[in-house]
Amino acid sequence: MRQSQLFTKTLKNISADEQSVNAKLLTRAGFIHKEMAGVYAYLPLGLRVIEKIKQIVREEMNAIGGQELLMTSLQRKELWAKTDRWDDKNVDVWFKSRLKTGADVGLAWSHEEPITDMMLNYISSYRDLPAYVYQFQTKLRNELRAKSGILRGKEFLMKDLYSYSLSAEAHEEFYKKAIDAYLRIFGGVGLGKDTFLTFASGGAFTQFSHEFQTLLDEGEDVIYLDRSKKIAINKEVLSDKALEQLDLKRKELEEVRASETGNIFNFGTAKSEQMGLYYIDEKGKKMPVVLGSYGIGITRVMGVIVEKFHDDKGIIWPESVAPFQVHLLELSPTPSPQSSPTRGEEVYRALRDEEIEVLYDDRDLTAGEKFADADLIGIPWRAVVSKKTGDRVEIKRRSESESKLVDLKELIKELS
């Protein structure tokens, strides 16, 4: 894409009100726009990052048998009343509205109830199980206090998968596969080294649920981490008994702050029973379906990545989620549309021919401004053409300071 065509611009300064690093950098670089507290729009650059993260998640979900769908944002009151979660006393983040007919509707803060209710239509026999369905959906939550930029918003994008299994054993098997898939996802988006399976409060059916906590000083959670075992326990369930069950020793645990980037739950059969989701087994016996849910905060992951990968000049995107692979800067171009294409144009076309995602800074700006923008936007590779580079290209990683001169072939090889 040509940067001259990109409608967003970088900003040198933003409101002192915006204090989180992720919101500051993403706003200044033109990835997001704040509509109101805790509510952000994702602009072209930001959306590209979102789509990259989604694709990494999608591939892993498909690999464990997930089928993608898209549920609705408007939800029926009755479904949530069945599990006693319509009442504001029980769920305090509801946005509620009313149809012209007078019927109450809720705006989706989760989809467990509607998706489980929908499955009543499709699950009636053991032959229909298991079923794994997932979606990427905007969740709307009337949080009292949004904070930390896109880390906790009133509106955010989440991947939620729901598993419907025949038995506790079958569920357990899938649950383990989901854990592995999650670890691969966090590795894939560049957070693998700092993301740990964490035992957390489990609810009625199981003692623990599992969170995926990414170490981050700006995170909201405190966890106790055993680095050698690569697992952690959330402060909220820390007890001598829990430590013993998990075979963890208090003196080997490190207290660290983290952000909950994923969370998986075993609901057992409780919700199925409440909602009437049963199947008939081989012997003709009516059995409740075993339910699990598996979430990843897509936009939160994006925010965490920015919090972890930046310097004083801007963002440093991991290659797997960067909006573009390479930022091509043409310095001191000689604008003359009638004559032959500039060196920048040639390189731009060559990269595009190789299907390399390139943001081409073809704007008539000074070198300093282009460098500053490139650092701020944070694309992993920077390629510069100018009088100085002649028929070669100067390339540099955003994360490093040394550059080198290469020819076009080497450039393409480096980026492929």
Residues that bind RNA (CB under 7 A): 9-20, 28, 34, 36-38, 91-92, 110, 112, 139, 143-148, 152, 158, 160, 203, 220-221, 263, 265, 293, 295, 313, 331-332, 364-369, 371-373, 375-376, 384-389, 394, 403
Nearest distance in Å: CB 313, RNA: 5
Which residue lies nearer to RNA by CB, 253 or 376?
376
User: From CA 371, how far away is CA 390, in angstroms rounded?
Assistant: 19
User: From CA 416, how far away is CA 410, in angstroms rounded?
Assistant: 10
Nearest distance in Å: CB 246, RNA: 20
Nearest distance in Å: CB 267, RNA: 8
Nearest distance in Å: CB 394, RNA: 5
Nearest distance in Å: CB 322, RNA: 17
| Residue 410: both structure tokens together | 């080497």
Residue entry with tokens 């282009």 = 370
Residue entry with tokens 């007890």 = 239
Phi-psi sector, 2: left (phi>0), alpha (psi -120 to 50), beta = beta
Which residue lies nearer to RNA by CB, 65 or 333?
333
Nearest distance in Å: CB 387, RNA: 6
Nearest distance in Å: CB 280, RNA: 28
Q: Do residues 77 and 104 lie in contact, with contact meaning Cβ atoms separated by under 8 Å?
A: yes
User: From CA 312, how far away is CA 301, in angstroms rounded?
Assistant: 21
Which residue lies nearer to RNA by CB, 52 or 85?
85
Q: Do residues 268 and 169 lie in contact, with contact meaning Cβ atoms separated by under 8 Å?
A: no
Q: Do residues 261 and 191 lie in contact, with contact meaning Cβ atoms separated by under 8 Å?
A: yes
Q: Do residues 376 and 28 lie in contact, with contact meaning Cβ atoms separated by under 8 Å?
A: yes
Which residue lies nearer to RNA by CB, 152 or 171?
152
Q: 305 to each of 30, 49, 117, 308, how far by Cα in Å?
A: 16, 11, 35, 5
User: From CA 278, how far away is CA 166, in angstroms rounded?
Assistant: 10
